[in-house]
């Protein structure tokens, strides 16, 4: 190494390593001693392995192909951006191992001041600690037994102020159960964090992503047995190595090299998205409703309605997560009655669960008292029980992004601010674009109360779609969709039933009358089984001469009562309830927010996707951790097909409205997504001089 580079390296080390002389400090204040080496100061270093294959362990969908779950191969992984891998500071915590004082803090220190990562997967951080503080642990005889010398070491990269405060105030070992909270609210420009920790590094991620110890076998380390041995480590150049072999002691060496570097993982996950629509349609556009054009041998199947996805929204993002990941066999936390496979910083495998902070509340037996707003940002719906609903107000609380802003490739080199929904989003592997970062949300094993992986407590993505009438669509359909004003009380109501889409109620009743002999069931649904009159179609634009059902509970009778007579809201509501009870889905227009023309309307529908973490490949059976979000993973989403019209904008128009108690695994599939779950790795650059 050149002399100039050597000086620069040591100068950087000394600038980054600091701790108060007579007490631990997280601020770097040291008014009692020489920052470059005082009698009370000792130094230790720790080598940190940045995220190389995520915390996924042997999950089949994210297997890296390496024997070690932290192998260096990037096959089947997602290489992170430089700003996602940057390390600005390292918090080192030394804690006791075992006994009544298990995990009670011995000493701690923060190194900071520059980007330590230098675009490498391994960094070495030097920390200055108070020898007096260590002496308190060594006791009056200044020695440690072999058992006492066995300690625990935890590493946090880019620690938040909240985490530093936790460490500074900790008086016992319960600090390892500390919970991070982030309260984020949606607004017109995307969202803003109103309370909690800065886990993704602030504006443009300039402060680095919060990372924590990722593997339980990296925690156990050894200290020298004699306090006097620390006289060998009174400057940064001779720092005690927590991840290597230390020699030169009268009592023998202290070897911490068995497990090598301490692995860390990011505390958040990432959602990526790309346009997966067919090349034969427009961007984010899908052929959905087909019909027959022509008759006899010349009849052809043509697309009548396309759906163009315009927006995507994040729902049910957890407000809280543990600073240190934990796993168990049932997804419940360790307590007096449960040690079922519990492991702090344990590896997630195919049969266990990552434990969430609210795991007990998410058990099926406890969901009746679950208050969604206490647990999630961007709640799917509002209210509890029968009052729970999705409406315009609840949609305003979702984190919503225009899809074109995610998929646009203009000026991507100039904008790495993926947190801000405005502007452009960075391209990643296979042409996906980074959408946003998401906190961990997991659900424990179902108990005797029933299925626990359900919509109300699962993180999801809602896609908003706009109906487009093609040139092959029937004239009435084209006119209704293309001429909509956005006034739902005057624009045509569209009725979907099975594979058919009808424009206005008269088309529904005409079809039922024409096909009575071949589809009596549909006829009875429209006119009611109690109908006793010979219903007839009307003629002309004003539909004169029509005879309606006399079954007062039938949709046809209630439509006539509302549309042809009262025109009041109560009768409209009664008709819509009868129609949805009969399994009709009703679509009413809304102002077209994508078109600036005054009095322009559009018909929208919504598609719900529940994030799948570990797909068991069984559509009717949920497996462990199937629907979840787990830290340090990238979820790559692309809508590849839409099979039918989605849920209507107005919940009361939906015969099958989204319900918080609905299980995530459902045969009622509206759209198909291509989903990849990849470990989120660091970019590795080998530098030679």
Backbone φ, ψ for residue 581 (5° rounding):
-60, -30
Q: What is the pLDDT of residue 469?
A: 97
pLDDT tens-digit series, residues 179-213: 999 999 887 656 677 777 789 988 788 888 999 99
Residue 102, SS3 per DSSP: coil
CA dist 97 and 523 (Å) reads: 75
C-alpha 151: how far from chain center: 35
Helix (H) or strand (E) holding 8: helix 3-16
- Count CA atoms closer than 13 A to 168's CA, side-chain side: 15
Q: What is the pLDDT of residue 367?
A: 82
Task: Give the other-Cβ count within 10 Å of 476's Cβ.
Answer: 15
Q: What is the pLDDT of residue 425?
A: 74
| Domain positions in the chain | 3-267, 313-464+602-681, 504-584
**Strands annotated E in 403-556:** 433-438, 460-469, 494-497, 500-503
Helix (H) or strand (E) holding 353: strand 353-354
Q: What is the dihedral of CA 22, 26, 31, 35, to 10 degrees?
A: 90
Instruction: Assign 3-class secondary structure to 592-647.
Output: CCCCCCCCCEECEEEEEEECECCCCCCCCCCCCCCECECCCEEEEEEEEEECCCCE
Q: What is the pLDDT of residue 667?
A: 60
Which tokens belong to 458? 């699962």
Assign domain 313-464+602-681 to a CATH class. Answer: mainly beta
- Written as one string, the DSSP assignment of 241-260 is ETTSEE---TT--EE--SS-
At a CB cut-off of 8 Å and minimum separation 6, what does 528 contact? 549, 551, 553, 554, 555, 556, 557
Spans of the chain below 50 pLDDT: 1-37, 53-74, 411-424, 683-689
CA dist 251 and 108 (Å) reads: 26
User: pTM score, two decimals?
Assistant: 0.89
CA dist 514 and 519 (Å) reads: 9
Q: Which residue has the tokens 């159960």?
A: 177
Q: What is the pLDDT of residue 18?
A: 30
Which residue, among 515, 538, 539, has the nearest Cα to 526 in the 3D structure? Answer: 515
Q: What is the pLDDT of residue 204?
A: 80
Task: Give the other-Cβ count within 10 Å of 145's Cβ.
Answer: 9
- Terminal-residue alpha carbon distance, the chain: 7
CA dist 18 and 29 (Å) reads: 8
- Interaxial angle between packed helices 504-514 and 520-527, expressed in degrees from 0 to 180 and rounded to the nearest 10: 140
């Amino acid at each position: 190494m050149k002399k100039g580079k050597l000086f620069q390296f040591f100068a950087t080390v000394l600038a980054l390593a600091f701790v108060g002389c007579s007490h631990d400090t997280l601020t770097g204040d040291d008014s009692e001693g020489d920052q470059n080496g005082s009698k009370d100061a000792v130094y230790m270093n720790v080598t940190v392995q940045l995220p190389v294959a995520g915390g996924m362990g042997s999950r089949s969908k994210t297997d890296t192909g390496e024997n070690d779950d932290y192998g260096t191969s990037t096959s089947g992984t997602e290489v992170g951006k430089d700003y996602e891998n940057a390390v600005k500071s390292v918090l080192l915590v030394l804690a006791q191992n075992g006994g009544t004082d298990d995990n009670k803090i011995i000493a701690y220190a923060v190194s900071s001041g520059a980007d330590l990562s230098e675009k490498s997967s391994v960094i070495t951080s030097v920390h200055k600690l108070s020898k007096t503080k260590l002496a308190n642990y060594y006791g009056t005889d200044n020695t440690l037994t072999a058992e006492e010398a066995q300690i625990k070491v935890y590493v946090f990269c880019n620690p938040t102020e909240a985490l530093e405060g936790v460490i500074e105030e900790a008086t016992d070992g319960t600090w390892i159960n500390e919970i991070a909270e982030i309260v984020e609210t949606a607004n017109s420009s995307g969202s803003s964090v109103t309370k909690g920790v800065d886990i993704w590094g602030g504006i443009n991620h300039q402060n680095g992503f919060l990372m924590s110890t990722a593997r339980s076998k990296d925690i156990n380390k050894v200290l020298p047995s004699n306090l006097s041995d620390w006289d060998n480590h009174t400057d940064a150049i001779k720092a005690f190595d927590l991840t290597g072999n230390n020699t030169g002691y009268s009592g023998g060496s202290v070897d911490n090299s068995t497990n090598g570097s301490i692995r860390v993982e990011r505390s958040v996950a990432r959602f990526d998205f790309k346009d997966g629509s067919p090349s034969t349609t427009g961007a984010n556009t899908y052929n959905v409703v087909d019909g027959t054009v022509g008759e006899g041998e010349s009849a052809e199947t043509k697309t009548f309605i396309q759906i163009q996805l315009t927006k995507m929204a994040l729902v049910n993002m957890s407000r809280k997560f543990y600073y240190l990941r934990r796993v168990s066999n049932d997804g419940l936390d360790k307590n007096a009655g449960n040690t079922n496979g519990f492991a702090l910083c344990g590896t997630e495998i195919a049969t266990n669960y990552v434990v969430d902070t609210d795991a007990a509340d998410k058990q099926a037996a406890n969901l009746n008292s679950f208050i969604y707003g206490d647990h999630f940002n961007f709640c799917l719906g509002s209210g509890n029980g029968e009052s729970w609903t999705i409406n315009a107000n609840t949609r305003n609380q979702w984190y919503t992004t225009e899809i074109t802003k995610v998929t646009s490739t203009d000026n991507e080199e100039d904008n790495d601010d993926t947190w801000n929904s405005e502007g452009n989003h960075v391209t990643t592997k296979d042409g996906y674009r980074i959408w946003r970062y998401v906190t961990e949300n997991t659900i424990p094993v179902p108990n005797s109360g029933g299925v626990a992986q359900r919509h109300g407590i699962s993180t999801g993505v809602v896609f908003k779609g706009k109906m487009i009438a093609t040139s092959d669509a029937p004239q009435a359909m084209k006119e209704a969709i293309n001429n909509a004003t956005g006034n739902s009380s005057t624009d045509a109501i569209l009725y979907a039933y099975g594979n058919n889409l009808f424009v206005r109620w008269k088309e529904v009743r005409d079809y039922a009358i024409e096909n009575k002999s071949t589809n009596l069931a549909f006829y009875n649904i429209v006119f009611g089984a109690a109908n006793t009159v010979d219903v007839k179609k009307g003629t002309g634009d004003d539909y004169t001469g029509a005879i309606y059902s006399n079954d007062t509970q039938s949709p046809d009778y209630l439509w006539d009562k509302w549309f042809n007579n009262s025109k009041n809201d109560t009768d409209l509501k009664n008709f819509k309830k009868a129609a949805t009870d009969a399994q009709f889905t009703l679509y009413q227009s809304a102002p077209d927010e994508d078109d600036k023309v005054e009095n322009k309307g559009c018909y929208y529908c919504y598609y719900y996707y529940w994030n799948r973490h570990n797909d068991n490949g069984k559509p009717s059976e949920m497996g462990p951790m199937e629907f979840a979000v787990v830290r340090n993973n990238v979820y790559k989403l692309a809508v590849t097909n839409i099979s039918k019209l989605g849920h209507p904008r107005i919940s009361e128009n939906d015969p099958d409205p989204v319900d918080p108690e609905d299980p995530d695994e459902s045969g009622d599939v509206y759209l198909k997504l291509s989903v990849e779950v990849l470990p989120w790795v660091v970019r590795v650059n080998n530098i030679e001089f």
